[in-house]
Structure 1
Amino acid sequence: MKYLFFCICCVLGLLACNQNKNYAPKPRGYFRLEFPEKAYQLFDSNAHYSFEYPQYAKMYLDSADGNRPNWYNLTFPAFNARLHLSYYKIDSKKKFDELVEDSRKLAFKHTVKATGIDEGLIEVKEHNVYGVFYTIDGNTASSAQFFLTDSTRNFLRAALYFNEKPQPDSIQPVVDFIKTDIDRMIKTFRWKP
C-alpha cells in the first residue's frame, strides 16, 4: 500500500512539473503617445524676426533673470518640452565670430553623454537665413540646437530641452515630432528690416 501511494505521488509530481511555462519577466512598457495634428500660426511680434510655429505650442517672453529683449520660449505643454530662443544684434565681425563659436561650444558641451553630434548647414538664400543645426544623439539634456543668422546684423540661437530625465528610447518619437516643427520654423523664418 505504501509502495502504491508513493508511486502515485511520484507520477502526479512528474505530471505537475512537466508543464512548459515561461516565467521570464516582461519587457518594460511605455505610454502610447498621441500626437496632435500639424497646424501652424505666425509668430510676428516686436522681435526682429518672424516664423511659423505649431498651434499646440505656446510662445512667450523669457522672464528669467539676465535675459534680454527678444528672448522667447516656445513651449510644447503636451510633451513637457521647451525651445529656448536667444536673439543677439551683431555689431561687429568679432561679435559674429564669438556668437558662432559660443553656439558650437554649447552644442558640443553635450559630448560627455552624447553618442553622436551631427552638424547640418542651413541655407535659405532667398530670405537671407543661414546657420547650423546640431542633432545630438544619446542620453543628453538637449537633443537639438541650432543658430540662424543673416551674417551681418542678426543672430538667433535655439536649444530644445525636455523637463524630464533624458531617456532617449522613450523620448525619441517626441523629438522626431518636434524636429518637423523646428524644420517648418526654419523654412518660414524671416528677418525684419
Structure 2
Amino acid sequence: MKKYFLLLLVILVFQSCKNETIPKPKPYLKLQYPEATYVNYNFNCPYTFEISNLATVHLRDNCWLKIEYPHLKATIHITYRSVDNNLNEILTEVEKLTFEHTVKADVINAIPYENFNKKVYGKLYAVEGDVATNIQFRVTDSVKNVLAGALYFYAKPNYDSILPAIKYIEKDIIHLVESLEWKK
C-alpha cells in the first residue's frame, strides 16, 4: 500500500510541474453607483431644474450654483448670466473656456440640445483626456438668459480612472438640462 501511495505522490508531483501557462482574463474594476432620484430646485433665480438627491446644492451670489457630489469628490460649478444684447459675446466666452482644453484633450465632442417648447437651447461638451474638466455645458433661451456649467473632480486628472464617475454625473447633467425651465 505504501508503494502505491508513494508512486501516486511521485506521479502527482511530476504532473503538477509542467510549465503550461494559461491566459487569464483581463480584470476590470466594477463600480456601482446608487440610482439617483431627482428633486426640483426652485431658487429665487430666473431658472429652475431638477438635480440628483445625492448631490448637495449651494446657491451663491448672482444665481451661481455649486452642486457637490461628496461621495465622488466632484463639483459642478454653474454660472448664470443675463443677456443684454451680448448673447454672442457670452456664448463665445463660454466656448473659449471649453476649447482651452484642446492642448491636453484627446477629443472634444459637442452634443447639441434643443427644446422649442421650453425655449431651452444648448450644448454639452464631453472632453476626453486628462483635463481639468471633462464635461462642460451651456444653455440659453437665446433672449435673456445663459446658464453654463463645468464638472470638476478633486483629484489629479486621470481620465481612465474617473471615467465611470464622469458617465454617472453626465446623466445627472443631461437630466438637469432636460428639466431646465426659464421663469417669466
- TM-fit CA distance, 1:20: 5.8
- TM-fit CA distance, 1:69: 1.3
Matched, 1:129 2:129: no
Structure 2 unaligned blocks of 5 or more: 1-12, 21-26
Q: Give the TM-score normalised by structure 1.
A: 0.80
Deviations 1:95-145 (A, max 9, x none): 211111011110001111100001121101110000111110011110110
Deviations 1:139-191 (A, max 9, x none): 11101101110111011110011011111111001111111111111111000
Aligned residues: 169
CA distance in 2: counterparts of 1:105 and 1:54, whole angstroms: 28
CA distance in 1: counterparts of 2:106 and 2:30, whole angstroms: 26
Q: Give the TM-score normalised by structure 2.
A: 0.84
Runs of 4+ in 1 over 6 A off after TM superposition: none
SS of corresponding position for 1:84: strand
CA contact (8 A) 1:144 1:160 kept: yes
* AA at the equivalent of 2:136: Q
Pair 32,129 (structure 1): closer, same or farther in 2 beyond 3 Å: same
CA distance in 2: counterparts of 1:86 and 1:133, whole angstroms: 15
- 1:182 pairs, out of 163, 173, 177, with 173
Structure 1 unaligned blocks of 5 or more: 1-14, 23-28, 63-67
Match for residue 173 of structure 1?
Answer: 164
CA contact (8 A) 1:75 1:81 kept: yes
Task: Determine what percentage of the aligned residue pairs are the same residue.
Answer: 34
- TM-fit CA distance, 1:45: 1.1
* AA at the equivalent of 2:135: A
CA distance in 2: counterparts of 1:69 and 1:163, whole angstroms: 24
Q: What is the root-mean-square deviation in Å for CA atoms of aligned residues?
A: 2.4
- TM-fit CA distance, 1:33: 2.9
Match for residue 163 of structure 1?
Answer: 154
